[in-house]
Amino acid sequence: MSTWEEEKIHDDGTYESSLDTIDGSIATLNLGPTHPATHGIFQNILKVDGEKILGSEQTIGYIHRAFEKLAERRPYNQITTITDRLNYCSSPINNIGWHMTVEKLIGAEIPKRAQYMRVIIMELARISDHLVCNAVIGVDTGALTGFTYLFQQREKIYDLFEEVCGARLTTNMGRIGGFERDFSPAFNEKLKAFLKDFPKVFNEFDALLSRNRIFMDRTRGAGPISAERALEYSFVGPNLRAAGVDYDVRVMEPYSSYEDFDFEVPVGTTGDTYDRFQVRQEEIRQSLRIIEQALAKMPEGSYKADLPEFYLPPKEEVYNNMEALIYHFKIVMGETPIPAGEVYHCVEGGNGELGFYLISDGGRSPYRLQFRRPCFIYYQAYPEMITGSSISDAVLTLSSMNVIAGELDA
């Protein structure tokens, strides 16, 4: 039994400590808004007795940028840049998720090749997202080495994104209907090199932490949540799977041909920091499996759908071809007729089910667009998960939940 369990909080809120504290008083500690341990701009006001947390209050919204309001003024293709800035650790998943939402609304058929290309890009993004999260868990336990190794690999993934779309972090990748261009030979080469080199580095990282006595002692039992409680809190993604619920949108409602690939959904048991770490580690391996299968089975065909009314034509055609010029003008000026309707589409983002609830009244911009942001929803469980733990465990819990300020505040 820990010392914490011997302590008592009375029904009227007064607190009796069995610890021999200096003067027996309870202190208030501000963790954030800008604190090196929070990896983002959000505040936690902690009530602490020595190292033990008795309760906490969260303040969020420091980087709120009114995305849902902005979306009501922008044409559909310009909303992609907004989605970049939600979970900026895996922007391409957000971009492609948004494109697929619009494609659902207009009823577009996407060629198999474009779907497989999307799968490759989305799985690369998932790897880079999970790498950041797990590397930072390492940093917060005091193991900086893995972080520096893995960030080199993340750079490689960003190099791949750069080959596809020219950008690295806020990618604005692809278009409604597919991609801007096919994968270049340089991309294919870099991807092959990545698939060859990355597993070695990743296994080294895994060997540093996974069965490391110090790391395990530090992370096991830190910030646990039960499956029932996680479901009550509408948890999704790796955090829910770590609690033992095998729910993955890629399996339950396959999009972009995920049903063609063979992969496993890892689950944990206790929902603590160690389980969240392990679930993400295994998901990285499964993502690699998916990428390899997609590369091997890559179908012939076009990298884009035939959607002249929504897909910006190539520049050289705009200058030399009347129809292309008309379509270019219509798309840019927002003259494209868009059906009125209501769709909900979700993809498995880095943090779980990322949903887009889109209401169109037929106008040039959405009537209403709501993002289901997994971070925003599950971060509210944080006080419950850290009450009773120490401050250092609270920092670990925060990084293992992978709370991204951009997604939290929209």
**Residue at 341: amino acid letter:** G
CA angle 177–182–186, rounded 5-degree value? 150
Nearer to other proteins, 313 or 383 (CB): 383
User: Strand, coil or helix: what is 387?
Assistant: coil
Q: How far is the CB of 334 from other proteins (least distance, A)?
A: 5
Interface stretch with other proteins, choices 25-33, 39-47, 213-221, 368-376 (CB under 8 A)? 368-376
Q: Does 364 bind other proteins (CB under 8 A)?
A: yes
Q: Does 409 bind other proteins (CB under 8 A)?
A: yes
**Can you tell me which residue has the tokens 């840019």?**
332
Q: Does 272 bind other proteins (CB under 8 A)?
A: no
Q: Does 335 bind other proteins (CB under 8 A)?
A: yes
**Based on C-alpha coordinates, what's the Rg of the chain?**
23
| Token code pair at residue 39 | 């990896």
| Token code pair at residue 132 | 């950041």
φ and ψ at 56, to 5 degrees? -150, 160
What are the C-alpha distances in Å from 264 to residues 115, 187, 267, 293, 366? 20, 27, 10, 13, 36
Orientation angle between helical segments 112-140 and 273-296, nearest 10 degrees:
150
Q: Does 247 bind other proteins (CB under 8 A)?
A: yes
Q: How far is the CB of 292 from other proteins (least distance, A)?
A: 23
- Cα 262 from Cα 245, distance rounded (Å): 19
| Token code pair at residue 272 | 């603590």
Which residue in the set 233, 261, 263, 277 belongs to the binding site for other proteins (CB under 8 A)? 233
Interface stretch with other proteins, choices 108-116, 229-237, 305-313, 387-395 (CB under 8 A)? 229-237
**Residue 202's closest CA among 140, 152, 267?**
152
User: Strand, coil or helix: what is 31?
Assistant: strand
Q: How far is the CB of 335 from other proteins (least distance, A)?
A: 5
**Residue 208's closest CA among 265, 289, 150, 271?**
150
**Residue 354's closest CA among 119, 128, 124, 94?**
94
Sheet holding 341-349, edge to edge: 341-349, 352-360, 368-372
**Can you tell me which residue has the tokens 């910030």?**
223
Nearer to other proteins, 158 or 247 (CB): 247
Q: Does 376 bind other proteins (CB under 8 A)?
A: yes
| Token code pair at residue 63 | 């980087």
Q: Does 69 bind other proteins (CB under 8 A)?
A: yes
Count of positions on this chain that bind other proteins (CB under 8 A): 48
Q: Does 370 bind other proteins (CB under 8 A)?
A: yes
Nearer to other proteins, 124 or 369 (CB): 369
- Count of alpha carbons within 13 angstroms of residue 167, beta-carbon side: 14
Interface stretch with other proteins, choices 67-75, 135-143, 159-167, 180-188 (CB under 8 A)? 67-75
- Cα 68 from Cα 366, distance rounded (Å): 10
Q: How far is the CB of 73 from other proteins (least distance, A)?
A: 5
Q: Does 81 bind other proteins (CB under 8 A)?
A: no
- Cα 91 from Cα 86, distance rounded (Å): 7
Interface stretch with other proteins, choices 82-90, 158-166, 279-287, 333-341 (CB under 8 A)? 333-341
Which residue in the set 163, 343, 383, 390 belongs to the binding site for other proteins (CB under 8 A)? 343
Which residue in the set 204, 252, 297, 301 belongs to the binding site for other proteins (CB under 8 A)? 252
| Token code pair at residue 21 | 């504290």
Which residue in the set 78, 85, 377, 388 belongs to the binding site for other proteins (CB under 8 A)? 377
Which residue in the set 37, 45, 55, 72 belongs to the binding site for other proteins (CB under 8 A)? 72
Which residue in the set 221, 254, 383, 388 belongs to the binding site for other proteins (CB under 8 A)? 254
Q: Does 342 bind other proteins (CB under 8 A)?
A: yes
Nearer to other proteins, 67 or 205 (CB): 67
Binding characters for other proteins, 94-133, by CB under 8 A (x = yes):
----------xx----------------------------
Contact yes or no for 212/274 (Cβ under 8 A): no
Residues that bind other proteins (CB under 8 A): 60-61, 64, 66, 68-70, 72-73, 104-105, 231-235, 245, 247, 251-254, 333-335, 341-344, 346, 353, 355, 357, 359, 363-364, 367-368, 370, 372, 376-381, 409-410
